[in-house]
Amino acid sequence: MTADNKHAIEFNQVRISYPGARDYALRIDKLSVNCADFVAVIGPSGAGKSTFLRSINGLIPHQQGELRVFGQSYRQRDLVRLRQQVSMVFQNFNLSPRMSVLDNVLIGRLAQKKGMLKALARFNDEDREIAFLALQKVGMLSYALRDIRQLSGGQKQRVAIARCLAQQAKIILADEPVASLDPINARRIIELLKELNQEQHITVLVNLHQVELVEKYFSSVIGLKHGRLEFHQDSQQQTITKDWNRIYG
């Protein structure tokens, strides 16, 4: 990161529409997320939260405007490099059920490989060491050789987060990562993400609907409504005024 590049993510006049749709699913004129920020993305169903997150890692292309990641325009960089830096966590965990916990985490290493090594999914001792450290970090080391199907929802989400760590991602995008968890596990997962943010300075953006979690853990909030940015409060602002009514009212 250079002095003039304190932003992890920048949107400038970005427009995204899905094929056949009349309206833009996302329409953001100006928005920047600081490096190492811990951000909640809120808004009612259909507001564009998933579209927003998926556009940041290139899963959904933008038709207009400019989207920058660590100062580089999306169009200047190749997707492979983008995906090395950005990792996603999903509500349904997105793990391979037929593989072990360790193998699922090793998949995160593929983002750092090229050519045949990637095609053949060849892992070396360094990859395995990184994967074990990631599992240790999320408290799942003793489950390394277990089958994914034997894990609870909270444990699966920890493995999904370990995969992001194995990838050595600098940005984690989590799309409703706690929507299918009970309140205690939901809190633990948000606490884990916050710990990674604080210790490893990973920029984390989390879509979520649970207002109480937003209140408790997030000082930065992006509010979306009808595909537009309704408000953005970043962590450097002194006063915290999470304006729920503007979003959900």
Ligand X SMILES: Nc1ncnc2c1ncn2[C@@H]1O[C@H](COP(=O)(O)OP(=O)(O)OP(=O)(O)O)[C@@H](O)[C@H]1O
45 binds, among Mg ion, ligand X, none (CB under 5 to 8 A by kind): ligand X
**Interaction with Mg ion in 48-67: which residues (CB under 5 A)?**
49-50
Residue 184 CB, nearest approach to ligand X (Å)? 23
Helix, strand, coil in percent for the chain, rounding step 5: 40, 25, 35
Residue 81 CB, nearest approach to ligand X (Å)? 25
Helix axis angle for 153-167 and 183-200, nearest 10°, is: 20
**107 or 179: CB nearest Mg ion:** 179
Interface with ligand X (CB under 6 A), residue from 51, 157, 220, 233: 51
Output the CA torsion sign for 235, 236, 240, 245.
negative
Does 61 participate in binding ligand X (rule CB under 6 A)? no
| Residue 73, C-beta contacts closer than 8 angstroms, at least 6 positions apart | 66, 67
Does 85 participate in binding Mg ion (rule CB under 5 A)? no
Question: Residue 98: phi, psi to the nearest 5?
Answer: -85, 0
The DSSP output letter for 148 is: G
Does 21 participate in binding ligand X (rule CB under 6 A)? yes
Stretch that binds ligand X, among 7-15, 40-48, 69-77, 185-193 (CB under 6 A): 40-48
**31 or 179: CB nearest Mg ion:** 179
Q: Where are the alpha helices (H) located in 146-241, listed in sequence order?
A: 153-167, 183-200, 211-217
Stretch that binds Mg ion, among 13-21, 41-49, 79-87, 159-167 (CB under 5 A): 41-49
